Amino acid sequence: MLQTWIYQAIVLLLCVFLVWEIIHERKLARQLTAAVVLVPMVLRLLMIK
């Protein structure tokens, strides 16, 4: 149970960094790359496989 909480905390931190990257990046290609990576991270955060 504790491992699941730690895993979700790490994924949440990654999601926050990815959203930060999307907001502050000027290049569209990098924004899209971060958005593509963000989708599976959000699914993992919600425990959807």
Number of alpha helices (DSSP H) and beta strands (DSSP E) in the chain = 2, 0
Which pLDDT score, from 0 to 100, does residue 31 have? Answer: 97
Which pLDDT score, from 0 to 100, does residue 6 have? Answer: 96
Which pLDDT score, from 0 to 100, does residue 10 have? Answer: 97
Let me know: does 20 contact 30? Beta carbons within 8 Å: no
pLDDT in tens, 1-49: 999 999 999 999 999 999 999 999 999 999 999 999 999 999 999 999 7
Which pLDDT score, from 0 to 100, does residue 20 have? Answer: 97
Distance CA 31, CA 45 (A): 20
Nearest-Å Rg of the Cα atoms of the chain is: 12
**Look-up of token digits 């930060």:** 20
Q: Look up the pTM and report it.
A: 0.87
Which pLDDT score, from 0 to 100, does residue 49 have? Answer: 78
